[in-house]
């Protein structure tokens, strides 16, 4: 393929793919979250293998002391393990009860305060 379109054209295609990814829903990782009962916030992103969305079977709601996590829209997030941006589903924390807790979500710590 490189011989047909040339190296500069191939580089431009790679740059265009990167620009499309940057225009997507970039999902944040929030280490500290403060919410009121009834509020919800995107706190992380569930990824599959690098470059792929997770299997639907991994998208089960997770219950915690102060609320639960449900899944939202597709997006991308930076992954150290993958060496860059990778597709994810939003992980949304829904505050249900007042309290403070430190949870682990997808191997990362998150401090939650619900008033």
Look at residue 89 and tell me if it is in a domain.
yes
Query: What is d(CA 26, CA 40) in angstroms, rounded to the nearest whole number?
Result: 17
- Under-50 pLDDT residues of the chain: 1-2, 8-16, 19, 21
Q: Which residues contact 23 (CB under 8 A, 6 or more apart)?
A: none
Q: Which domain holds residue 101?
A: 25-114
pTM across the whole model: 0.79
Look at residue 17 and tell me if it is in a domain.
no
Look at residue 35 and tell me if it is in a domain.
yes
Strand partners of residue 77: 86
Q: How many domains does the chain have?
A: 1
Look at residue 13 and tell me if it is in a domain.
no
pLDDT of res. 24 = 87
pLDDT of res. 17 = 52
Task: Express each pLDDT in 5-29 by its tens digit.
Answer: 555 444 444 443 553 545 789 999 9
Look at residue 19 and tell me if it is in a domain.
no
Look at residue 94 and tell me if it is in a domain.
yes
pLDDT of res. 46 = 97
């Amino acid at each position: 393929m490189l011989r047909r379109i040339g190296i500069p054209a191939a580089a431009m295609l790679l740059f265009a793919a990167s620009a499309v990814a940057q225009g997507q829903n970039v999902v944040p990782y929030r280490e500290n979250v403060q919410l009121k009962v009834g509020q919800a916030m995107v706190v992380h992103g569930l990824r599959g293998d690098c470059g792929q969305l997770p299997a639907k079977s991994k998208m089960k709601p997770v219950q915690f002391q102060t609320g639960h996590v449900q899944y939202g829209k597709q997006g991308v997030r930076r992954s150290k393990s993958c060496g860059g941006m990778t597709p994810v589903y939003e992980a949304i924390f829904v505050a249900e009860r007042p309290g403070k807790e430190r949870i682990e979500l997808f191997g990362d710590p998150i401090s939650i305060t619900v008033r």
